[in-house]
Amino acid sequence: MTIEQLPGPTPVKAAAQGEALISLRDVVKQYETAAGAYTALRGINLTIDRGEFVAIVGKSGSGKSTLINMITGIDRSTSGEVRVAGENLGKLNEGKLAVWRGRTIGIIFQFFQLLPTLTVAENVMLPMDFCNIGTDRQRRERAAALLERMELSEEQANKLPTALSGGQQQRVAIARALANDPPLLVADEPTGNLDSRTADSIFHLFEELAAQGKTVVMVTHDNDLANRASRAVVVADGQIVDASAA
């Protein structure tokens, strides 16, 4: 089944010809904590092209999630420049950033993070709702199609997320990430909370999406999975120690 692209009021700015989809230059991120200043990222330089499937690997506390937060605009850099899909994220205010993020990036979390009081289908429709994309009927149809693609039945679509297994919930989260048909999918340890068989099937989904032209950036500490990505970026102590591993 094909999934139609829905009309929306805020088209994603096209990146300049030949420009990387993601470009980070000298990105530094510092946090002020009760114990003093803590530097999570120390001068990150990274480019990711369209259609790449990039795994970001590193130990706990290495700065992987902070790096992802820079790319998604969930957090802002202390210094340096973050450009994603043609936008300099440092120049967007919170409101514009939210709309841009909704249209440009699909985010998948380790703990699925579905809204517990919405049904599975409503969870998938929510990004379209926030970004004012399509009519109610179009959203419903697109959500149904995405869930079908994620091998979830119509009956499951009308259940609350807690009625589904972990793997199924993560599939719903991926469907939600695809709702606005973003060019970029960012996943923060999407298999970290799943058994190995389910994790493998979820990873396979990402591989398919990448094959269809989506750019996928995935944080993982599983080296086996990272090796299956087109490229692995290794982060340690807030720095990229290897950006070309495959």
Distance CA 37, CA 191 (A): 32
Q: Measured from the CB of residue 228, what is the shortest distance to another protein in angstroms?
A: 26
Q: Measured from the CB of residue 200, what is the shortest distance to another protein in angstroms?
A: 26
Q: Which is nearer to another protein, 66 or 220 (CB)?
A: 66
Q: Which is nearer to another protein, 104 or 220 (CB)?
A: 104
Q: Measured from the CB of residue 167, what is the shortest distance to another protein in angstroms?
A: 18
Residue 129 is encoded by which pair of tokens?
């709702």
Q: Measured from the CB of residue 186, what is the shortest distance to another protein in angstroms?
A: 10
Q: Which is nearer to another protein, 174 or 232 (CB)?
A: 174
Residue 48 is encoded by which pair of tokens?
């990711």
Q: Measured from the CB of residue 125, what is the shortest distance to another protein in angstroms?
A: 5
Q: Measured from the CB of residue 101, what is the shortest distance to another protein in angstroms?
A: 6
Q: Which is nearer to another protein, 56 or 186 (CB)?
A: 186
Give the interface with another protein as residue ranges (CB under 8 A): 34, 69, 72-76, 94-95, 98-99, 101-103, 107, 109, 113, 115-119, 122-123, 125-127, 129-131, 136, 176-177, 179-180
Q: Which is nearer to another protein, 10 or 230 (CB)?
A: 10
Contact indicator for 68, 84 with CB cutoff of 8 Å: no
Q: Which is nearer to another protein, 180 or 215 (CB)?
A: 180
Contact indicator for 223, 209 with CB cutoff of 8 Å: no
